Chains A and B, each alone.
Chain A
Amino acid sequence: MSARANILGKLRNSLDGTTPRPDEFDERLVTEPWRYDPQDRIARLRSLMEAVHTEVRQCSSDNWPGLVAGLLAKRNLTNLLCVLGKEHGRELQAHFDATKRSVRLLAYDRPVEAWKEELFWNVGASLTGTLGAIAATGSLVLWPDRHEPRLMSLVPPVHIALLKASEIHDNLYDMMMAQDWAAGLPTNVLLVSGPSKTADIEQVLAYGAHGPRELIVLILEDA
């Protein structure tokens, strides 16, 4: 007998003569306490994310590239990993070209094995989009894909995330229902609610444990 057959056999044997409990999920418990007026969502998201050292900036679709340039300059960062040749990458490129900034835009355009060393030690910051955010818990939702692979939001010490104000949901339940996540999830889905942190020594919070030391969220209010 295989381990599988033994385990399932024992479990089935123990349930002999019982009936499965009915599904008693009550969605009100995970939605009603977590509803906000549309104009309050940003404030709720901000306050939760700022409480865990996230820098949140409200801006618009035409001035965000300048803001990114400023954030990089303030930190003396000379390169930025972002998706090139697609929406926000193009806008950023155009801005840097026009202002003659000496920031090198890096693309994640080959398998990680081809440039692990460089990704781990030489990339100063990254910029990714988001699928949206959750006001209830102060979380960004990321669905990494070929253009914005998983490690883009994890390895560089500074992570800048673009968030459209219209894509902030009240709570996780609403968001996964609205987008029917159960119908099929990508390889990896992430909720990110701040920079990497640990309290493993004396419960004292320290930021930048293994992931980004800084998380900066740019909320595009007109998008």
Chain B
Amino acid sequence: MSQRIPATELSSGFRSRAEAALADRQLRNNFRTAMDSLMHKRAKAFSDADEREGLRELGNRIKAGALSRLPDLLEQLEQKLTENGVKVHWAETLEEANTLVHGIIEARKGRQVVKGKSMVSEEMEMNDYLAELGIECLESDMGEYIVQLDGEKPSHIIMPAIHKNARQVSKLFHDKLGEPETDDIDHLIQIGRRTLRQKFMEADVGVSGVNFAIAETGTLLLVENEGNGRMSTTVPPVHIAVTGIEKVVANLRDVVPLVSLLTRSALGQPITTYVNLISGPRKPDELDGPEEVHLVLLDNGRSGAFADAQMRQTLNCIRCGACMNHCPVYTRVGGHTYGEVYPGPIGKIITPHMVGLDRVPDHPSASSLCGACGDVCPVKIPIPELLQRLRQENVKNPAEPQLVKGGGAKFSRTERSIWRGWRMLNTRPALYRSFLWAATRFRALAPKKAGPWTDNHSAPVPARQSLHDLAAQHLDQNGGRPS
């Protein structure tokens, strides 16, 4: 049963991490169980296929429509938010975003930051950045808190600690917080609640992400189940929201289908416990809420994806995670194998624009192109098509202009000439026939090694007779060949 799969080429990080993950039975079990359950829940939440498909189409149209006038919407959002008293900041790079966030915290002499779940802040590695400047930045989502406590990174964008089981969490709380060990999940959650409640009270600044930014009203919408997002955006005197420039939608009504698609696709819930719409800081007559609200709009490669009409569709993403839940590769290798902030199918198509394809050259090909991700995507991103596109960008001649940052990383002259030969062989009948003749006669000379393929498979050996020969024989024996 526990036969180890032999190693393939281990030169790159992804491959060696994948090999280690595949051999980790605990990890595989944790993921398998979780992904099966998430798939089941989603299917139940979308029990009416017509309703589901209509809504996905609408979700796609809303996002595509918003992207088709993205710069105007961003300006409208900025104007509305400013009218509402929210300060809007723009950052092209992670460094700029971190500097902005740090500046806002410093202006208030803040020392403690409490954070709601935000994937953009993971992109920024904000916790580490602020820690080096002496500012504590604590994750408050239970899963994120667990992962941070263990010095790890999230392995799933919705369920950050999905790779751990209760026993592992209990041991962690025992080691780091001195709590007695327990298998009782309720008890473990109460430990988190107690510890973090104190932190919410003390924090100088709250940081959050944004699920949808509504241009029409100047509103930031956040969904969550725990209440840590509401705590982080309401209790501290300053709230900083960080988000990607693609999160803006035109109208308030647009969020009705989008929130429904998001929560049903992500967790199979008709809605999350809390949907939090923030349209400004505390007004003079109000008694709570932050005195300052800031929004940091981050590019970090998104405008690069935006530049190409096909790859622009990547920015439809509403970060539900359904593509990873349904991905046979993700389920087997887990989120950490990808080595980047966004794992799974969405990670494979967004990460190259952020960090460059040359840093993640194996990502586009770590897929069987089974199409499950595209089938479940609530905003109909054609993920398999984009993976194929990135594979092409990956092997482009570096001398050509590159559309994707770091494109052409997998270009190989040998591979190019093999394909060129293959094309010649298959487009010239005389050459093809003589190749067949030779391949069947000299089959014993077929190479025993065929790259990484033969590490896990037996080498292909040509048949004694080609299909062409067999067909000719058959027709000869059964009434002759057609004229």
Contacts and interface: CB of A to CB of B under 8 A. Distances in A.
Interface stretch (A72-80, A88-96, A123-131, A203-211): A203-211
A150 to B, nearest CB: 5
A37 interface: no
Interface in B224-280: 225-228, 230-231, 234-235, 237, 245, 250-254, 256-257, 260, 267, 270-280
Given A25-B254, A26-B58, A138-B271, A11 B70 contact: yes
A11 B169 contact: no
Given A10-B306, A33-B51, 4 more contacts: A30-B55, A192-B273, A194-B273, A199-B267
Contacts of B65: 20-24
A196 B185 contact: no
B273 A197 contact: yes
A203 B34 contact: yes
Contact of B142 (A113, A171, A200): A200
Given A112-B235, A176-B253, A201 B189 contact: yes
A163 to B, nearest CB: 16
A191 B275 contact: yes
A188 B256 contact: no
B225 A198 contact: yes
Contacts of B234: 150-151, 154, 188
Contact of B201 (A4, A27, A117, A199): A117
A190 B277 contact: yes
Interface of A: 2-4, 6-8, 10-15, 18-27, 29-30, 33, 48, 52, 108-113, 116-117, 120, 136-139, 145-146, 149-151, 154, 171-173, 176-177, 181-182, 184-204, 206, 208-212
Contact of B270 (A12, A18, A48): A48
A192 B190 CA distance: 21
B345 to A, nearest CB: 21
Interface in B86-102: 90-92, 96
A108 B273 contact: no
Contacts of A186: 279
8 contacts: A18-B68, A23-B65, A172-B256, A185-B217, A192-B274, A201-B188, A210-B196, A210-B226
A96 to B, nearest CB: 23
A218 to B, nearest CB: 19
Interface of B: 30, 33-34, 37-38, 48, 51, 54-55, 58, 61-62, 64-65, 68-72, 74-75, 90-92, 96, 140-143, 146, 159-162, 164-166, 169, 185-186, 188-190, 192-193, 196-197, 200-201, 216-217, 219, 225-228, 230-231, 234-235, 237, 245, 250-254, 256-257, 260, 267, 270-283, 285-289, 297, 299, 303, 306-307, 312
Q: Give me the 4 closest cross-chain CB pairs, A-B, nearest first.
A: A211-B227, A200-B143, A209-B226, A191-B275
Nearest to A13: B307
Contacts of B285: 146
Contact of B272 (A6, A189, A193): A193
B231 A201 contact: no
Contacts of B254: 25
Nearest to A6: B92
Nearest to A121: B197
B189 A208 contact: yes
B283 A187 contact: yes
